[in-house]
Amino acid sequence: MTIKLLTLPVVTALALTLAACSKPGEAPTPAAAVAPVAVSASSYETVASTGKGFTVGSMMSAQPVYVLFEPQCPHCGHLWEASLPLHNKVKFVWIPIAFNQGKSLAQAVTLMSSSTPLETMTEHEKLLLSGKGGITAMSGITPEQEQAIKTNTQLLTTLGQDSVPFILAKNRLTGDMVSHSGAMDTADLAKLIGVD
């Protein structure tokens, strides 16, 4: 029996084939499986009325883009970075969920409660992507805050999804409801939501 060691380029290539974070105990979502999924207007309205998060970007934009994300998901961090160049054109509502009730829950509440969400989320994702685990979370989470995150997490399941980031939007050019599970670059995100 021969054992082959994987070289760094092979390991890197394998890591890049994963584009979304899944619930603990479930297999990661491969990049080939990450594609737009059909959504209804009622799904969009459910997220708009039920999800609790923070808003960044163009506050005057009439059609928000909803992003369900997990604070410990690096793919969510990459999507955050990809969204930054679009903030002058698009209103993003980032809805935190927590696959685990430890660090993720506390960070989700901290991000959702920040009075400066753009700065807080940018700092969090920079720390997360550099391997430092993200921001230090606030202590003293209220039962209402914990319930809001649990409701957000259940919302992901209600939408038939099990991985993040999950994007739900109305394409500005076509008016169609669109969604995507997984990270994407700025150009693909702009195309998905219909902005140039």
Rounded distance between C-alpha atoms, residue 98 and residue 141, angstroms: 14
Within 10 angstroms of residue 74's Cβ, the number of other Cβ atoms is 16
Per-residue pLDDT tens for 38-50? 567 788 999 999 9
The pLDDT value given to residue 192: 96
Task: Report pTM.
Answer: 0.83
CA atoms within a 13 Å half-sphere pointing along the CA-CB vector of 189? 27
The pLDDT value given to residue 78: 97
7 pLDDT higher than 70: no
Per-residue pLDDT tens for 152-185? 999 999 999 999 999 999 999 999 999 999 999 9
Tell me what the pLDDT averaged over the chain comes to: 84
Cα dist. 23→38, 69, 105, 153, 185 in Å? 21, 12, 14, 10, 23
Per-residue pLDDT tens for 71-106? 999 999 999 999 999 999 999 999 999 997 779 999
pLDDT tier for residue 16 given thresholds of 50, 70 and 90:
very low
pLDDT tier for residue 36 given thresholds of 50, 70 and 90:
very low
Rounded distance between C-alpha atoms, residue 177 and residue 133, angstroms: 34
- Residue % of the chain over a pLDDT of 70: 81
Answer whether 192's CB lies under 8 Å from 177's CB.
Answer: no
Within 10 angstroms of residue 165's Cβ, the number of other Cβ atoms is 28
* Residue ranges of E strands in the chain: 18-22, 29-30, 54-57, 65-69, 91-96, 163-164, 166-170, 177-181
Domains of the chain with bracketed CATH = 32-193 (3.40.30.10)
Query: What is the pLDDT averaged over residues 122-134?
Result: 97
Rounded distance between C-alpha atoms, residue 71 and residue 114, angstroms: 14
Rounded distance between C-alpha atoms, residue 70 and residue 105, angstroms: 9
**Element holding 134 (H helix, E strand):** none
